[in-house]
Each structure stands twice: as structure tokens, then as C-alpha cells.
């Protein structure tokens, strides 16, 4: 029996989760929410995490009904992410590991998402579309390691959605992506937007500059509504994502993938059905950044002896997804 | 017509070429082999993708069919080998192409060379010719959009005797003179090349060298290629 506690704080969420051999014992989390039209800044986000982390830690232990001595290993997000929040959370993880006398494991955030996806879906060697604020990657496990097949050549899809939300002043509460999804449901008219697939890669910057340029004109002239724009943006972005996932699968013959937006899941479902593949989607509790995913990846690494020694327990803002 | 047999790979012929045999089913097109007006013909049929909004799907399918034909013609005019276009049916989104008979893909060629234990140095001549043909294509401002070793065919390559290279699969292609677009084209090839063929870094360097030697415009393209590579490594990846 192995129990791992995981600390995640690479972006605007601070989460701590405890995992015992594939079972999530607790997974509390807090989100730093900024006003509409504003993104989150590193130092303010770090301050938020500093203020919340000990409360969240208490909750994680209480909910799991565990004492520190029951824990076998402390996992934390090594990167990628924002520097200041990463440092804050790593510092606390390092401190408790020393206080409790437990080994540390530094985890790649993206691998955390994938390992969590594998755990709750039971998918073995999936092709994963990994989409978040800063990442857009199609990752598959091939030749005994995770490899990136397709990715964005400029900005991430989450970044594109966030910046779009700022352009047309959509609220950040609970998240821009969630509000765009709700508005998109009311959109009726499909507005053509740039669609850029290059090999297995995608590019979103053209869509963003088109929207920044044209959105206000289209809205004020009554050519379309904000809901129509949300709808069209989603249809375009997600089609591109499904397309590169399918292209990766066509070269691999595997399937899978975690993400939350229901329309994206629906589109993936249709594509997989046509290919005779199986779609696994993870639900909201796990595809939003959380501590349990770091604990789960840490659990896998701890089991094969991948410990991070104290002098190596730094963080890094950029971290390519490979795990050899 | 399409959608019914998706993924099953059944022996369904495209409506306009009775008796044709399904050769390959890719992500967005089925490729058939048959005879058309007495000639060995490849039919590439783009089928609807049901996951996409129908308006978007229709636009993409039409655009890609048209681009594929347009870029093939442009290449052929410039003396770059690509299949002859026999006929295009825009109602069923089918392109009828000359079959490049007795060809194998570069992918198959590299894979079998490596599998037979021969050194990749035996492929240097081929890498040189790929670099040259791509330089020529870019000098015509054709950006392929999906450069992989599966989208290049090789005919009649034998020991000591170099074969002919034929470029195919221009659906994602477009016309652009921008070094950035050409740089991304080479970036896409580099990633596909190195991930499909392990331990071919030196071989790909050879290809790039020949590309640079073959085109006056190459330095600007390579500069962009370096930038795009760096962008990938430097992207902040927050969240
Ligand atoms: N003109 C042709 N002659 C011979 N084989 C071809 C020809 N066109 C395509 N093929 C074969 O069919 C495969 C798929 O065709 P391609 O145009 O690349 O479609 P896809 O978009 O599905 O990759 C190629 O890799 C090649 O093996
Ligand atoms: Mg192809």
C-alpha cells in the first residue's frame, strides 16, 4: 500500500490531493478568480496560494482521515507553469517533506493530467488531447514514452479562449471557457473564422487577430451576436483539435483523451465512433488542475523509484512533456 | 454515400468509378485504385466529417479539394513531379489522379532500409534530392502544409540507380511567398520525419543542407524554422 500527497499550484488553482493505490482519498482546491477583462498575474496568484495552502492541506488530511505519518511520499508540480506560484507551492511541499521525513517527487504537470486520465478512465496507452490554459498538445504513448504528436505552433487554445473573452468582455467567473461554452449554446449563426491546420499542428493566432480586428464591428453592425461568435469560435477551434487528434490516431490507431467542454467531447465522440475507437473523457473534478493528479503521477514515479533529491527539487516554467 | 462505411474499410467504390478498390482510408479521405478511360487511376474522395458543423465541413472539403488540384498543377508546370490530374468531381469531392505505379512511399523506403540494417548514410543521396525538390516547390511559392515521408513517393529506386521523387497529398497546401509559412512547412516535415524514423537526425540535417544549397531564398526560411522551433521550446505553457 502506497499513499502519496500531491501539491498543485502551477496556475490560478491551488489543490492538494491524496491518493492511495488508485483511490482518491481527498482532493480539495481553491481558485483565484480575477475580475472580467483581467488575467491573473504571477505575484498576485502566488499571494493567493500562500494564503490558502495551509487550510487546503488541513482539509486534504482531515478528509482523507490521515496523519502525516501515514503518507509515504510528497509529490509537487515541478512545471510547466507560472514561476511565482510554482515556487510558493514547491516551497511548502519541500518543507512538509522534511518535517515529516518523507521523500519528494517532482511531477510534470501535463503528465499529471494524463496519469489521472488513465487512472479514472482505465485507458491503457491512449492518444490524449491535452488542452488547458497554456497547453494544446496531442500526446501519445509510443516506444515506451510519452511523445508530443501535434501541438499549437503559436498560442494555446485556452489562451485563445481567454483572450477572446477579454476582447468581448466575458466574465472570468468561474472561468472564461465555461462562460463561452454557455453562451455558445445560444449561438445560432455560424460565422466563418480562419481555420489553420499544418500537418499535425494547429495555429490559433490568426483566429485571435481576426476576432480582435472584426468582433466589435460585427457586433455593433448587428451582423451577429456575441453568442454567435462564441458558438463559431468553439466550432472552429474544436474542429481543429479533433482533426489533429484524428490525424495522430490515423498514424497510430489508438484512442483516448481528457477534457471538459461538452461540445468538444461530443465532437470527439462522433469522430471516434466513425473510426471505431473509444473515447474516454474525464470529468470536471479531474480535468481542472488539482492535487490528486499530481499525487497519482507521483505515485507512479515513486513506485519505480523516481525520487527527487532535495537539491534537485527546483521548479521550471517550461517543461516539455516527455517521461522516459 | 460517405459516413456509412466509415472505418470499416469495405469494398465500396466511389460513385464515379465502378469497380475501384479501396486502397487506404485516411483521416479525411478514402483513396481508391481503379481504371478511368483506360488508365490506372487513383481516386481520392474526401468524405464529410460529421463532428464538424456542416457549413464549416463543406467549406473545408471544397477548399481542400480545390487546393490539392491547384497546387499539383502549379508544381507540374514548374517541372516538379506530382501526379497528373485526370478529372475533378466537385459534387462528390473526388479527384482522379494518375496512379504512380510501382511506387513506394519514402516512409516505407526509409523504414525498410533501416530494418535491413543498412546505414542511413546509404540514404544521403535521397535526402539530397528531397531537399532539392522542396526548395524548388518553395521557390514556386507552393507551401505543402502536410510534409511527411508518407506524402512523397519514390519510383524505380535501385542500388546505385536513383529513383524519381513524386510529391502528393496537397490538400492542406496554399500559395505563399512568406518565409514564415515555408519555415513552418519545414518544421512540420522535421517533426514528422524525426518522429517516424528514429535516429535520423543526421539524415534530416543532410536534407536541410541540400535545401539550403538549392534555393537562394532558403536562408530566410531557415531563420524562420529556427524561430518556430524555439517558440515551441519557450512557450510558457502556464495552466
Ligand atoms: N497518385 C498516387 N499514386 C500511387 N499511390 C498514391 C497516389 N496518391 C496516393 N497514393 C497512396 O495513398 C496514400 C494516401 O494518399 P494521400 O493523398 O496522402 O491521402 P491522405 O490525405 O489520406 O494521406 C499515399 O500515402 C500513397 O501510398
Ligand atoms: Mg497522405
Domains of chain A are 3-114+285-312 (3.30.420.40), 125-279 (3.30.420.40)
Taking CA atoms, what residue in A is nearest to B196? A251
CATH entry, B103-233, from 3.40.50.970, 3.40.50.620, 1.10.10.60, 1.10.510.10? 1.10.510.10
Cross-chain residue pair B236–A271, CB shorter than 8 Å: no
- How confident is residue A253, by pLDDT bands cut at 50, 70 and 90? very low
> Do A53 and A92 meet the contact criterion of CB atoms below 8 Å apart?
yes
B102 is catalytic: no
Looking at residues B119-136, what average pLDDT do you find? Answer: 96
Judged by DSSP in three states, A306 sits in coil
Residue B131 has pLDDT above 70, yes or no: yes
Q: Cell numbers 485526370 label which residue?
A: B86
Please enumerate in sequence order all residues whose Cβ is within 8 A of that of A39, keeping only pairs 6 or more positions apart, or say none: A162, A166
Residue B97 burial (C-beta neighbours within 10 Å; 0-12, 13-18, 19+): buried
Q: ipTM of the assembly? A: 0.87
What is the Cβ-side half-sphere exposure of residue B69, based on CA atoms within 13 angstroms? Answer: 19
Give counts: helices (H), strands (E), chain A. 10, 11
Could you tell me which CATH class the domain B21-98 is placed in?
alpha beta
Out of A34-48, A73-87, A260-274, B97-111, which region has the weakest mean confidence (pLDDT)? A260-274
| Option in B51, B196, B234 nearest A270 (CB) | B51
> Do A164 and A211 meet the contact criterion of CB atoms below 8 Å apart?
yes
Q: What is the pTM of this model?
A: 0.81
Cross-chain residue pair A320–B239, CB shorter than 8 Å: no
pLDDT score recorded for residue A282: 65
Residue B171 Cα: closest atom of ligand 1: 21
Cα distance between residue B15 and residue B17, in whole Å: 6
Chain mean pLDDT for chain A = 87
Judged by DSSP in three states, B1 sits in coil
More confident residue, A277 or A101: A101
From B57, B89, B139, B146, the catalytic residue: B146
In chain B, domain spans: 21-98, 103-233
pLDDT score recorded for residue A173: 85
CA A99: distance to chain centroid? 30
More confident residue, B202 or B18: B202
Looking at residues A281-301, what average pLDDT do you find? Answer: 83
Tell me which residues of chain A, numbers 78 to 97, contact chain B at a CB-CB cutoff of 8 Å: 79-82
- Residues B35, B37, B41: CA angle, nearest 5 degrees: 35
Cα distance between residue A54 and residue A92, in whole Å: 9
Binding site membership of B135 for ligand 1 (Cβ less than 6 Å): no
Burial readout A27-63 (b: 16 or more C-beta within 10 A, e: otherwise): bbbbbbeeeeeebbebeebbebbbebbeebbebbbee
Cα distance between residue A126 and residue A139, in whole Å: 8
Judged by DSSP in three states, B141 sits in coil
Going by alpha carbons, the residue nearest to atom 19 of ligand 1 is B169
Looking at residues A164-173, what average pLDDT do you find? Answer: 90
- How confident is residue A254, by pLDDT bands cut at 50, 70 and 90? very low
- Please check if A232 is assigned to a binding site: no
Residue A147 has pLDDT above 90, yes or no: no
**Chain B neighbors of A127, CB-CB under 8 A:** none
pLDDT score recorded for residue A8: 97
Cα distance between residue A105 and residue A94, in whole Å: 10
Binding site membership of B151 for ligand 1 (Cβ less than 6 Å): yes
- Please check if A131 is assigned to a binding site: yes
More confident residue, B32 or A252: B32
**Chain B neighbors of A158, CB-CB under 8 A:** 239
Percent of chain B at pLDDT exceeding 90: 76
Binding site membership of B103 for ligand 1 (Cβ less than 6 Å): yes
Out of A25-39, A200-214, B173-187, which region has the weakest mean confidence (pLDDT)? A25-39
Cα distance between residue B90 and residue A302, in whole Å: 57
Binding site membership of B26 for ligand 1 (Cβ less than 6 Å): yes
Cross-chain residue pair B27–A133, CB shorter than 8 Å: no
Render pLDDT for A87-122 as a digit per residue (tens, 0 to 9): 999 999 999 999 999 999 999 888 888 888 788 777
More confident residue, B237 or B173: B173
Looking at residues A48-59, what average pLDDT do you find? Answer: 97
Taking CA atoms, what residue in B is nearest to A242? B51
More confident residue, B32 or A258: B32
> Do A140 and A252 meet the contact criterion of CB atoms below 8 Å apart?
yes
Which candidate, A324, A73, A232, A200, places its Cα nearest to that of B26? A200
Amino acid at each position: 500500500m502506497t499513499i502519496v500527497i500531491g501539491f498543485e499550484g502551477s496556475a490560478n488553482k491551488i489543490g492538494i490531493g491524496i491518493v492511495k493505490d488508485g483511490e482518491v482519498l481527498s482532493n480539495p482546491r481553491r481558485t483565484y478568480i480575477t475580475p472580467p477583462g483581467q488575467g491573473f498575474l504571477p505575484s498576485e496568484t502566488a499571494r493567493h496560494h500562500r494564503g490558502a495552502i495551509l487550510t487546503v492541506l488541513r482539509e486534504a488530511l482531515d478528509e482523507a482521515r490521515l496523519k502525516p505519518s501515514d503518507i509515504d511520499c510528497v509529490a509537487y508540480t515541478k512545471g510547466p507553469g507560472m514561476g511565482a506560484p510554482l515556487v510558493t507551492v514547491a516551497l511548502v511541499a519541500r518543507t512538509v517533506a522534511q518535517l515529516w521525513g518523507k521523500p519528494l517527487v517532482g511531477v510534470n504537470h501535463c503528465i499529471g493530467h494524463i496519469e489521472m486520465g488513465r487512472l479514472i478512465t482505465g485507458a491503457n496507452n491512449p492518444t490524449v488531447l491535452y488542452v488547458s490554459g497554456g497547453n494544446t498538445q496531442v500526446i501519445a504513448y509510443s516506444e515506451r514514452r510519452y511523445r508530443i504528436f501535434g501541438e499549437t505552433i503559436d498560442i494555446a487554445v485556452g489562451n485563445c479562449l481567454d483572450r477572446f473573452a477579454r476582447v468581448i468582455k466575458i466574465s472570468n467567473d468561474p472561468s472564461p471557457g465555461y462562460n463561452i461554452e454557455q453562451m455558445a449554446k445560444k449561438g445560432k449563426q455560424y460565422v466563418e473564422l480562419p481555420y489553420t491546420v499544418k500537418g499535425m499542428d494547429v495555429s490559433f493566432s490568426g483566429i485571435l487577430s481576426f476576432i480582435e480586428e472584426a468582433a466589435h464591428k460585427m457586433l455593433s453592425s448587428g451582423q451577429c451576436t456575441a453568442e454567435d461568435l462564441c458558438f463559431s469560435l468553439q466550432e472552429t477551434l474544436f474542429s481543429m483539435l479533433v482533426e489533429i487528434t484524428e490525424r495522430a490516431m490515423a498514424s497510430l490507431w489508438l484512442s483516448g483523451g481528457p477534457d471538459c467542454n461538452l461540445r468538444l467531447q461530443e465532437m470527439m465522440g462522433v469522430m471516434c465512433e466513425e473510426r471505431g475507437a473509444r473515447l474516454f473523457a474525464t470529468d470536471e473534478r479531474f480535468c481542472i488542475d488539482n492535487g490528486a493528479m499530481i499525487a497519482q503521477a507521483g505515485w507512479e514515479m515513486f513506485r519505480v523509484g523516481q525520487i527527487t533529491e532535495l537539491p534537485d527539487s527546483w521548479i521550471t516554467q517550461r517543461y516539455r512533456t516527455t517521461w522516459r | 454515400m460517405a459516413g456509412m462505411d466509415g472505418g470499416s474499410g469495405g469494398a465500396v467504390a466511389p460513385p464515379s468509378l465502378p469497380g475501384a478498390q479501396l486502397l487506404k482510408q485516411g483521416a479525411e479521405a478514402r483513396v481508391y485504385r481503379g481504371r478511368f478511360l483506360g488508365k490506372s487511376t487513383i481516386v481520392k474522395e474526401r468524405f464529410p466529417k460529421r463532428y464538424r458543423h456542416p457549413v464549416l465541413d463543406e467549406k473545408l472539403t471544397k477548399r481542400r479539394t480545390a487546393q490539392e488540384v491547384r497546387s499539383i498543377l502549379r508544381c507540374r508546370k514548374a517541372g516538379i513531379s506530382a501526379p497528373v490530374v485526370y478529372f475533378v468531381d466537385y459534387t462528390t469531392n473526388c479527384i482522379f489522379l494518375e496512379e504512380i505505379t510501382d511506387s513506394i512511399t519514402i516512409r516505407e523506403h526509409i523504414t525498410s532500409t533501416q530494418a535491413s540494417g543498412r546505414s542511413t548514410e546509404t540514404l544521403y543521396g535521397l535526402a539530397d534530392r528531397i531537399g532539392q525538390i522542396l526548395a524548388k516547390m518553395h521557390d514556386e511559392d507552393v507551401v505543402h502544409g502536410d510534409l511527411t515521408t508518407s506524402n512523397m513517393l519514390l519510383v524505380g529506386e535501385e542500388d546505385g540507380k536513383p529513383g524519381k521523387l513524386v510529391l502528393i497529398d496537397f490538400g492542406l497546401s496554399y500559395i505563399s511567398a512568406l518565409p514564415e509559412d515555408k519555415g513552418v512547412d519545414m518544421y512540420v516535415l522535421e517533426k514528422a520525419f524525426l518522429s517516424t524514423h528514429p535516429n535520423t537526425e543526421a539524415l534530416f540535417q543532410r536534407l536541410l543542407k541540400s535545401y539550403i544549397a538549392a534555393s537562394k531564398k532558403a536562408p530566410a526560411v531557415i531563420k524562420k524554422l529556427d524561430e518556430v522551433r524555439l517558440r515551441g521550446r519557450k512557450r510558457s505553457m502556464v495552466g
